[in-house]
Structure 1
């Protein structure tokens, strides 16, 4: 008798591939909507646009925080 191994068709995205909404970024940074959109507008925080929706890769948020910490340390 042959053992059946299910095939994984869909895996949850890893943290580095996760896309965040503006409200999620607002909550994580504890900033207001306009402050987050200012960061996006000035390209301090990277994002992509899907239709009319703006999404921020979790990796971009991590990189932004790391860069700000490095600026503060310098």
Structure 2
């Protein structure tokens, strides 16, 4: 998805992408990833270990079959 950066270096992340990953205003991590940048949501206290698995408390939008299908298709493009 094409977006722009202003003179101050600010980039607008389109609302549809923010909603898709549950991105809300607050701190984010920006990491150099090859020749690009990756935005990561910092782990919160909601991360815990259950039966050897990392579990994040569900506070974002519900995961649906259509949402998963859309994510898989986006990876294939």
TM over 0.5: no
Q: Which bin holds the TM-score, normalised by the shorter protein?
A: under 0.3
Which structure has more relative contact order (CA 8 Å, sep 6+)? It is: 1
Q: Whose strand proportion is higher, 1 or 2?
A: 2
Q: Greater CA radius of gyration, 1 or 2?
A: 1
